[in-house]
Amino acid sequence: MVMQKATPHALDALIQALRVLPGVGAKSASRMAFHLMQHERAGALQLAKALEHACDHVRHCVTCHTLTEFEICTMCADPERDRSQLCVVETPADQAAIERTSTFRGLYFVLMGKLSPLDGVGPNDLGFAKLSERCADGQVQEVILATNFTGEGEATAHVIAEMLKKRGLRVTRLARGVPAGSELEYVDLGTIAHALVDRR
Amino acid sequence: MVMQKATPHALDALIQALRVLPGVGAKSASRMAFHLMQHERAGALQLAKALEHACDHVRHCVTCHTLTEFEICTMCADPERDRSQLCVVETPADQAAIERTSTFRGLYFVLMGKLSPLDGVGPNDLGFAKLSERCADGQVQEVILATNFTGEGEATAHVIAEMLKKRGLRVTRLARGVPAGSELEYVDLGTIAHALVDRR
């Protein structure tokens, strides 16, 4: 008799497949697989269907580059949004974070990443040409750079700002400063320094 | 025009479906969904297939109750395992942990849970009758209780021990003591106390 591994193949394959999820290693994957098979078969089948449906239907909005089911995403197609303001973000999650504040009524451009030369991500991968073209539609008057305040996010914002300022567009950046609800004693030096420089 | 939510439906459905995974909340689920759609479409489709295949094929071994593709799992069917020893564990993950040590050559019974009256998990849910029947096959001579050393795991071990001792079986429990590689100074009091009592 040929010896087989103790864990059956279908489970092995499932554990291996689950590792495609970000942040899920071997242990989490097997915990997930056992949990699904023991307690959540209906949920597992629904997840399989949702994955297939999303892979078939989700694509990039031709206008803002975000993930959507439509050729033009619902936000870009919404006539009530202010077409004179364009907010540049790294990811759909960042876009969602700004939307939750309900303080921005303009449109977005989603880079789907940030400049990262070490990982081989350059201006072409982030669609800078498309962004430049998008800004030349005659309606955009202000571009708000809302990339993250990390080294790579700052560099991305800087390169975009240089590119768009040449075209005579007004380019702004989210304000840096002390977070709401925080005590100065516990805020890092760099943040306080920026808040002092940018005081109003 | 009917207003639609900014996140498209297929993505929403995927984010919702991902929350079936243990330990995955709203934020992780959306991070996972965006990652899959942006970088891992092939992996996402493979995950969908693995989920469907596992749901169709994975069931409980009729002998040891673990998750398997076969009527009798490969371990129970392996003629080289020692049929006189039966190790009782809570989950397939615990079984895998013991297998990794390569020090046990007997068979297993997987409870797929632990006694937990507050969650409504009683002896019937864990198949105690089946375990009792399994131990009466005339081959099992020793039952090793390897449930976790938590309150519920200890209670489960205690109830099984009482049940099986009545039938005249030898029932043992994994040794409690100081973990390998640890320094006494940092080991908790309860563990040291047990290690003293169980000294050899």
Q: What is the full DSSP assignment across chain A?
A: -----SS-HHHHHHHHHHTTSTT--HHHHHHHHHHHHHH-HHHHHHHHHHHHHHHHH-EE-TTT--EESSSS-HHHH-TTSEEEEEEEESSHHHHHHHHHTT---EEEEE-SS--BGGGTB-TTTTTHHHHHHHHTSS---EEEE---SSHHHHHHHHHHHHHHHTTT-EEEEPPP-PPTT--GGGS-HHHHHHHHHT--
Q: Which residues from A are below 8 Å from B40, CB to CB?
A: 20
Contact B73, A12 (CB under 8 A): no
Nearest Cβ partner of B47 from A6, A51, A73?
A51
**A143-195 pLDDT, tens per residue?**
999 999 999 999 999 999 999 988 888 999 988 888 888 888 888 888 888 88
Q: How far apart are CA B200 and CA A51, in angstroms?
A: 55
Which tokens belong to A165?
Answer: 């300022």
Tell me the CA distances in angstroms from B17 to A23, A55, A96, B179, one per residue in order: 17, 14, 19, 40
Q: How confident is the model at residue B3 (pLDDT cuts 50, 70, 90)?
A: very low
Tokens, residue A24? 């899920």
ipTM above 0.85, yes or no: no
> Which residues in chain A touch residue B50, judged by CB atoms under 8 angstroms apart?
10, 13-14, 16-18
The model's pLDDT over B62-75, given as tens digits with 9 standing for 90+, comes to 999 999 988 999 89
Shortest CA gap A145–chain B (Å): 20
Report pLDDT for B198: 83
- Cross-chain Cβ contact A47/B43 below 8 Å: no
Q: What pLDDT, on a 0 to 100 scale, did the predictor assign at position B6?
A: 45
- Nearest-neighbour CA in chain A from B109: distance (Å): 13
Chain A residues close to B55, C-beta within 8 Å: 37, 41, 44-45, 48
Which residues in chain B are closer than 8 Å to A37, comparing Cβ atoms?
Answer: 54-55, 58, 67
Name the percent of chain B lying above pLDDT 90.
Answer: 56
Residue-level length of chain A: 200
Residue A67 to residue B11, Cβ atoms within 8 A: yes
User: What strands, in cross-sheet order, belong to the sheet with B142-145?
Assistant: B106-110, B82-89, B142-145, B170-173
Cβ separation A44–B20 shorter than 8 A: yes
Residue A4: its pLDDT value, please?
A: 44
Handedness of CA B23, B25, B30, B31 (dihedral sign): negative
Q: What is the 3-state secondary structure (H, E, C) of B79-110?
A: CCCEEEEEEEECCHHHHHHHHHHCCCCEEEEE
pLDDT at res. A6: 45
Residues of chain A with pLDDT under 50: 1-7
- Are B54 and A70 inside 8 Å of each other by CB? no
User: Measured between alpha carbons, how far is residue A12 from residues A195, B65, B169 in Å?
Assistant: 53, 17, 35
Cβ contact A6–B43 (<8 Å): no
Instruction: Judge: A38–B112 Cβ closer than 8 Å, yes or no.
Output: yes
pLDDT for A14 equals 95
**Mutate which: B55, B71, B87, vs A, most A CBs within 10 A:** B55
Q: Can you give the pLDDT at residue B188?
A: 86
Between the alpha carbon of residue A85 and those of residues A88, A129, B105, the distances in Å are: 10, 18, 69
For the stretch B31-54, pLDDT in tens is 999 999 988 999 999 999 999 999
Q: Model confidence at B93, in pLDDT bands (50, 70, 90)?
A: confident
Distance CA B35, CA B11 (A): 11
pLDDT at B185 over 50: yes
- pLDDT at residue A2, rounded to an integer: 44
Question: Residues B106, B139: contact at Cβ < 8 Å?
Answer: no
